[in-house]
Amino acid sequence: MAEITMVSRRVATSVLDLIGNTPMVDISALSPNREVSIVIKLEGQNPGGSVKDRVALSMIESAEKEGLLLPGQTLLEPTSGNTGIGMALVARVKGYTLKVVLPDNVSPERRALLELWGAEVIDSPGSEGSNGAVKMAREMAEAHPEWAFLYQYGNLANPRAHFEGTGPEIVRDCPDITHFVAGLGTSGTLLGVGRFLKEYNPDVEVWAVEPPAGEVVDGLRNLDDGYIPPIFTELNGEELLDRKTVVGPKDSILWTRKLAELGIFAGISTGAALAGAIRCSQKIESGCIVVISPDGGWKYLSTGAWTDDIDVVTERARNTIYF
């Protein structure tokens, strides 16, 4: 029998204590530039399965501290899935009721997880993408002031979770970072981690990757219906980011598959972020890129992303929210 030194019990008292401190792994085998290493941070290891557990916990605990959320109160949130799932987990443990406004074209696994943790799902039109969910939730929040509307797109506790958690973890585990690459959704990860990294070393570059979301949002009547997350404007995201690049569904899926060849089972938005990291690797001489994997692959098995013909899956992804 192996020798074990027993000092004291090392067991979490709540599943919420397991949020954060996610592992990082070197995936330089995929780097097209031998002078550039690539390290990926696996946020799918969070108990709710995504980076959004951090945001959910941060927003709910901030609201509790500020007296904006009272015991047993109902929470309302627009989400394309992961934030809702994270909030459903935290709400279940802490005893809140949660209503999520969810575009009706997200993968069925996302909906199943939300329902499993007791959230009520309210459908918004898939053709309007996340924009439609945000619009509907804002209208509902106005009609129901008794609900707590934490609103991840406008809540500074979202980037704060990354400024205080994700960012310091990256520097602790990979102090030689030169470039940070992550997907742009609410912008919380990029703003929080990005600000922390720039304070750590102003030379670290922050690169954003986004899906061509506006291409498929056909509910948009004109550009004035566009949307920029209020936190992005408030924290001057345009100043913070060094580069922003768009990655389509085909590249996202191809790079998700490449990761699987290394034994890393990640969601499709990870493939998008990785495609951005690969472009970064091609454009710089040397360095160390840290890229965020927002979630694991479990919620996307039904999309056939790893098994079906690439063109068929790509077409399917155009009509499904995967980011």
Partner 1 sequence: MTIDVRLPTVLRQHAGGQAIVQAEGSSIGEVLVDLSRQFPTMSDQLLTEKGELHKFVNVYVNDDDVRYLDKLDTKVEDGDVVSILPAVAGGDG
Active-site residue, selected from the candidate residues 31, 37, 41, 52: 52
Spell out the residues 6+ positions from residue 203 whose beta carbon is closer than 8 angstroms to its own. Answer: 178
Of residues 188 and 287, the one with the C-beta less far from partner 1: 188
Distance CA(124)–CA(118), nearest Å, equals 19
Task: Respond yes or no: is residue 250 known to be catalytic.
Answer: no
Distance CA(132)–CA(235), nearest Å, equals 24
Helical H runs in the chain? Answer: 52-65, 82-94, 108-116, 129-143, 157-161, 167-173, 188-200, 213-216, 230-234, 237-240, 249-261, 268-283, 310-318
**Interface positions with partner 1 (CB under 8 A):** 50-52, 79-83, 129-131, 133-134, 152-153, 183-187, 189, 210-218, 220-229, 238, 241-247, 267, 269, 279, 294-295, 321-323
Least Cβ distance, residue 265 to partner 1 (angstroms) = 16
Contact, 292 vs 182, CB < 8 A? yes
Least Cβ distance, residue 246 to partner 1 (angstroms) = 5
Question: Nearest-5° angle of CA 216, CA 205, CA 297?
Answer: 45
Of residues 16 and 280, the one with the C-beta less far from partner 1: 280
Of residues 63 and 279, the one with the C-beta less far from partner 1: 279
Least Cβ distance, residue 123 to partner 1 (angstroms) = 16
Of residues 28 and 298, the one with the C-beta less far from partner 1: 298
Contact, 210 vs 184, CB < 8 A? yes
Least Cβ distance, residue 223 to partner 1 (angstroms) = 5
Contact, 57 vs 19, CB < 8 A? yes
Least Cβ distance, residue 193 to partner 1 (angstroms) = 13
CA atoms within 13 A on the CB side of 118: 13
Of residues 183 and 287, the one with the C-beta less far from partner 1: 183
Distance CA(259)–CA(271), nearest Å, equals 8
Residue keyed to tokens 């959004």: 52
Distance CA(18)–CA(23), nearest Å, equals 12
Active-site residue, selected from the candidate residues 269, 281, 293, 299: 269
Least Cβ distance, residue 9 to partner 1 (angstroms) = 34
Of residues 28 and 122, the one with the C-beta less far from partner 1: 122
Task: Respond yes or no: is residue 52 known to be catalytic.
Answer: yes
Which residues carry out catalysis?
A: 52, 269
